[in-house]
Amino acid sequence: MSAKAIREYDGKRLLTEFLSTRGASWTGRQVLITPETDLEALPGTYPWLKECKLVAKPDQLIKRRGKGGLITLNCDWDAAKAWIKERMEKEVEADNVKAELNRFLVEPFLPHEQKEEVYICIQSTREGEEFLFHHEGGVDVGDVDAKAKRMVNPIGATPTEEELTAALLTELTPDAQAPVAKFISQLFQMFTQYHFVYLEINPLVVKENVCFPLDMAAKIDETAHFECEKVWGDLEFPAPFGRAPHPEEAFIHGLDAKTGASLKLTILNPKGRVWLMVAGGGASVIYADTVTDLGFGKELANYGEYSGAPNETLTYEYAKTVLKLMTNEPDAEGREKVLIIGGGIANFTDVAATFKGIVRALTEFRDRLTAVKAKIWVRRAGPNWQEGLKLMKQTALNLDLPIRVHGPETHMTAVVSYALGLSEPKPAAAAAGYGPSKQEANQGMFTNQTRAIIYGMQLQAVQQMMDFDYLCKRDKPSVAAIVFPFSGDHSQRVYWGGKEVMLPCYSKLETALRTHPDVSVMVNFASYRSAFASTMEALSHSGQIKTVAVIAEGVPERQTRMLIKEAERRCVNFIGPATVGGLQPGAFRIGNTGGAIENIVACKLYRPGSVGYVSKSGGMSNELNNIISRNTDGVAEGLAIGGDRYPGTRFLDVLLRYEQNPNIKMLVLLGEVGGTDEYDVCEAIKTGKITKPLVAWCVGTCAKCFSFEVQFGHAGALARSQMETAHAKNEAMAEAGAHVPSSFDTFGDKINEVFQKLLDEKVVCPEEEPEPPQVPMDYSWAKKLGLIRKPAAFLSSIVDERGEELTYAGMPISKVFEEDIGIGGVLSLLWFRRRLPAYAAKFIEIVLMVTADHGPAVSGAHNTIVTARAGKDLVSSLVSGLLTIGPRFGGALDEAATMFANAFDTGVSAESFVNNMKKENKLIMGIGHKLKSIHNPDKRVTIVKDFAKKHFPSTEILDFALAVEQVTTKKKANLILNVDGCIACAFVDLLRSCGHFTRQEADESIAHGTLNGLFVMGRTAGFIGHFLDQKRLKQGLYRHPVDDINYIVEEAGSPTAGFGGSA
């Protein structure tokens, strides 16, 4: 979920549209003016502009416009117009930032008295919607938080007007209470139905029992777009005042909207020296934090992320955008520019695959990177990270670029210090090497007997869970079944160790639960569109399901809060949304948590340790696995609660459970900017509810360097007050008694420090490390890593559909259309594996056109028609026609080409060739026509011949054939070079003279049947035409007329029986 501010114009527009269908007395009138607006013509569209006094003000998310002199009141249209013109596209200072004014709101002026102004605000909370009301509103309302009457309406409930009056409106006169209560009730309905998260009206004027909203500020949950697109209309989410939107940001936002991956880009300082290209929402904040914590905040150029396994093309476009911005101009002081390609340890993203897109961009921008003296630092890990880092190292050599590459052995943010020249790279410290401590059985949320249902066809996640189970030496897999509503009940093949087993897949959750009564967990991979309904269904089975994890990002906030309420009512653990899940080493794993098996082994997640951690970020949870395994005896349990503003499970819920678990000796919390859940943890420490040592850190400390509001990677990562800043929360946790490092850069050191104290105090007593278990590697993964090889079943050299886009002979399909190579060009790629000249492609198309059809009487068309009239389908009818093609129909092209080419190559004259064929009693293929003659030439032959003569470098075979025609037509006028012969000879000339084939390749192409292929392809179009024609004409079953058949029937025993009789 993501709360986005909207313009006052849009807020009032939505309110006007909503109230207009409910008989409200107030119907708003407003117009938004931009630099493109024709001010002179505007009254023609909005006559009221000249009929009443007006208010004009900027509409760009500026606070306190009245006090800043950015409003004009009680003026006519001419005065308002002049006031707007004077300020349009002029820079002003407001909210401590300078920016250009370019949007103005104009609406009718309402004369009123101060006493008629009130204040109303509705904002969403975890529990429901909170109303704030004060009977005195306006610019001098003061501290509303302290003054206002409050009322919290539980999620899912609708307050009555009586309840609103009693809780909020007691200071109003009796006459005013009723209209205000009705207005607030309607406002609330719009708030919930249109997925608002914040709506403030100050002042709301109550005049003659009618409510008039004068000034409005509002935020909407952007993720509800799929539900509210129609009622929202053309809704704009403008950038904060002081931040001009950049086209590059809009481009990345457009890419993000079209993919299930996450692509974010915020340009902070286009002239900045330090640029980031970071994978992961949590990691992206931490890298920005580290840059600012090290004193380089003013040089930080951008903030952003690419995550969720974007494909190579998306990663390329993202990287290209960042590199273009970075290399637009050199540093003003001539210093080096720095690019940090960073990220945590991925859970499921193929690192090498995403790096391919980045390498493409680096290759394209190599010269520009050199020009700005760019130095590049890489730190990444996760599935296939070894290949990814190897690719980066090779790229450094190929491009001669200064690229330094690090993997999981290096602390995630250490490369920032290296890149900024504050420290030198040093060999990574060895992992702590502590063995596991003694554990009590059946502690924690899960056990090694916990079983789950996976909702959604996520076979990779299923296999990841089962491989984890096998590593942990479970008796049976944790995955009992898959539920996939879009297919019937069936089974899917998965592996249990090295053994292939069948996993049941059901179309209904109820059936799956009834069949598998030992299931107590559902891992929900449904999309954000269907996550709500499927999770509600799971919660209805709370007698069996005790934990639900919702993986999807983008679930609307209101739906999430309803799920939280229902889960609490039914006493079900609700993890998510927007989470990778969690794990309990040695027992259970949710989905892809922990990443690839190599990482599970490296982080010792196959057996429990003594540390319980909780994180908002799923990607950072894997990094925590790495940090904790390197500095302690390992993880006892880890949970990523999700990055949304209202996660189903809160930090305190998890930490209190860890407090009660005797196997967990120390706690780790990784919070972030936004929200106040960390303060609940502070209170729990102070009151003694949490006694175990807690190492804690909140990411997002970089926010203090920005002069405008920044929405970080997660939907909940936005400070709405000083109290929600990372800096304030870190201070509060340190004050409460948590162990808080100076930055994330020293997070691992602080964890090690606390663990060492537990060792010294004998709270933790590690034993010998067990031998890591082995899991057979999937064949496909082993092949990708280059560990195995096998001969292919067959070879293909013309098409590759495996990459980001289809390629024909190496040419991307997009380029096929961009360069408009036509069907002739496509055939040149598919048939000859090379791009032929434009005239050659055109010739192929001419051949297809002239051979497309020759009427219904020829054998192929006749067969097609007869089959179609027998009621057969298109393919059957087409095949019946194609099967007639051979030496007597259409198949003469190949033989004609061979015959004329061989004759020419031997040096024989045309006359000798004709005489030799006569002596051998052989027909000359390509010579002769039933209807056409030297006096009545075939136009098709003329078209082919003229094109070849005009465009081909050489037509020696065609010229020889025409010389043969001169000989044969002296004998009989219809012994002309026919279309088959003309095409055949011209095609041989094309192959031999175009410069793209050796003589051997040209001869092989003819021998392989290429010419017949052209005839088949061309005539296919005609046969299909005949089929469609017969269907369109509704022709019935064909029966050949009897009078067109010569019946030759002899009486049995006749001397001539069996010899054909007489004609």
- By annotation, the residues acting in catalysis are 714
Tell me the one-letter amino acid at 648: G
* 988 neighbors 1002 (Cβ within 8 angstroms): yes
Torsion over CA of 991, 994, 1000 and 1001, rounded to 10 degrees?
-70
The number of beta carbons lying within 10 Å of the beta carbon of residue 797 is: 8
42's tokens:
């505007």
- The residue length of the chain stands at 1063
- Closest Cα partner for 60 from 133, 8, 119, 11? 8
Element (H, E) at 212: strand 210-213
Alpha helices (runs of H) in 28-98, residue ranges in sequence order: 42-45, 77-87
Residues 946, 952, 954, 956, CA torsion sign: negative
Residues 1005, 1007, 1009, 1011, CA torsion sign: positive
Laid out side by side, the sheet with 374-379 consists of: 262-267, 302-307, 274-279, 337-343, 374-379, 403-406
Rounded to whole angstroms, the Cα distance separating 374 from 362 reads 11
- Closest Cα partner for 480 from 534, 539, 522? 522
Strand partners, 205: 117, 212
- Closest Cα partner for 544 from 571, 524, 564? 571
368's tokens:
């520009």
Report strand pairing: 302-307 vs 262-267.
antiparallel
Element (H, E) at 92: strand 91-94
Report strand pairing: 490-496 vs 499-506.
antiparallel
- Closest Cα partner for 281 from 362, 343, 335? 343
- The single-letter DSSP state of residue 769 is P
Alpha helices (runs of H) in 294-402, residue ranges in sequence order: 312-326, 351-364, 366-371, 385-399
Strand partners, 337: 374
* 60 neighbors 93 (Cβ within 8 angstroms): no
* 653 neighbors 633 (Cβ within 8 angstroms): no
* 550 neighbors 531 (Cβ within 8 angstroms): yes
Rounded to whole angstroms, the Cα distance separating 353 from 309 reads 9
Residues 582, 583, 589, 595, CA torsion sign: positive
Residue 561 φ then ψ, to 5°: -65, -35
Element (H, E) at 780: helix 779-784
Rounded to whole angstroms, the Cα distance separating 84 from 33 reads 9
